[in-house]
Chains A and B, each alone.
Chain A
Amino acid sequence: QVQLQESGPGLVKPSQTLSLTCTVSGDSINKGGYYWSWIRQRPGKGLEWIGSIYYSGSAYYNPSLKSRITVSVDTSKTQFSLTLNSVTAADTAVYYCARGSITVVRGVVGFDYWGQGTLATVSS
């Protein structure tokens, strides 16, 4: 059974860097056909795609976050990470990591496994 678990500090000061890690178990993180992603949800709001990284290493980001974000993969630790620089109160949200799947037969499947989410609060 594939499981994802987010970890990171619950509180970050304004202008500092938010770093979150997602640990994947039950499957290989460097297998083709998957993309590893971050999605967030501000309090009481909808879902926002942040960025995704593929097995190949190609990463795609939401331009609304400009150049503040980096998503990376550590295959040796079966983890992938999110770094968000220069945070403000607007970055306070529940951050989800998720696995997306693409198959030859089914095409893009979407986010089929999610972590339970971690709340990151930006406050001094």
Chain B
Amino acid sequence: AIQMTQSPSSLSASVGDRVTITCRASQDIRNELGWYQQKSGTAPKLLIYAASNLQSGVPSRFSGSGSGTDFTLTISSLQPEDFATYYCLQDFNYPWTFGQGTQVEVK
């Protein structure tokens, strides 16, 4: 199975900060990666698909980049509602695998 390694596992940031989360795949997955946001006690929400495509309704401060094995999720200006846990997911081949998550906390 493809291993997805996210970093950092957690970070502390302030409103207005630029936040970057990375995800590395154990093999080439082309651009077949999504990013999800999960707030405590709720289902995950799709933010980015195919590495860099913003899902409908998601604020433009979220962006994704990368291909092959290295990917990045960037929040250009952190908002209060963005404090959550973020996961990457490779859907290149089965079994689909998630990263371990990055918790974004209030500094």
Chain A residues close to B by CB (< 8 Å): 39, 46-49, 52, 60-64, 96, 98, 100, 106-112, 114-117
Contacts and interface: CB of A to CB of B under 8 A. Distances in A.
A114 B38 CA distance: 11
B82 interface: no
> Chain B interface mostly helix, strand, loop or mixed?
loop
A63 B95 contact: yes
5 A-B pairs closest in CB distance: A114-B43, A110-B34, A49-B96, A62-B95, A47-B98
Contact of B44 (A47, A62, A63, A64): A47
B87 interface: yes
Given A49-B96, A100-B91, A109-B49, 19 more contacts: A39-B44, A46-B87, A46-B101, A47-B36, A47-B101, A48-B98, A49-B97, A52-B96, A60-B95, A61-B95, A96-B44, A108-B32, A109-B55, A110-B36, A110-B46, A110-B91, A111-B46, A114-B44, A115-B43
B42 interface: yes
B26 interface: no
A63 B55 CA distance: 29
Nearest to A115: B43
> Chain A interface mostly helix, strand, loop or mixed?
strand
A49 to B, nearest CB: 4
Contacts of B96: 49, 52
Nearest to B92: A108
Interface of B: 1, 32, 34, 36, 38, 42-46, 49-50, 53, 55, 87, 89, 91, 94-101
A48 B101 CA distance: 11
A39 B36 CA distance: 13
Contacts of A49: 89, 95-98
A117 B45 CA distance: 13
Interface centre among A60, A111, A114 (most CB of B within 10 A): A111
B98 A112 contact: no
A106 B49 contact: yes
B43 A116 contact: yes
A52 B46 CA distance: 17
